[in-house]
Amino acid sequence: MRILTTALSDEALELCRRIWDRRLAPSEEFSEGFGIKDIPRQMNDRDSGVYMCKFAEFASRRASIVFTQEHMPYYRQRMV
């Protein structure tokens, strides 16, 4: 878990550096880097881990990102 946390932290720092160096808005950098638009927004402070896992799953399969906040209770329960 520590290795995963460190890797994600390093990736986030690198992304921030690229955003500031190129003066792009975060959404532009994200869309430009991954070609993904209309990313669902988290509406509370409890689901960030679930969003991250589901986004990674969908992106790794190159599937359309179709989940929303309403799907989070279902995904959270499935993860438990």
Predicted pLDDT at 23: 52
CA distance 21 to 72: 34
Query: How much is the average pLDDT of 67-76?
Result: 92
Amino acid at 2: R
Confidence of residue 19 (pLDDT cuts 50, 70, 90): low
- The pTM of the full predicted model, rounded to 2 decimals, is 0.53
* Res 43 pLDDT > 80: yes
Specify the length of the chain in residues: 80
* Res 29 pLDDT > 60: no
Rg of the chain (C-alpha set): 14
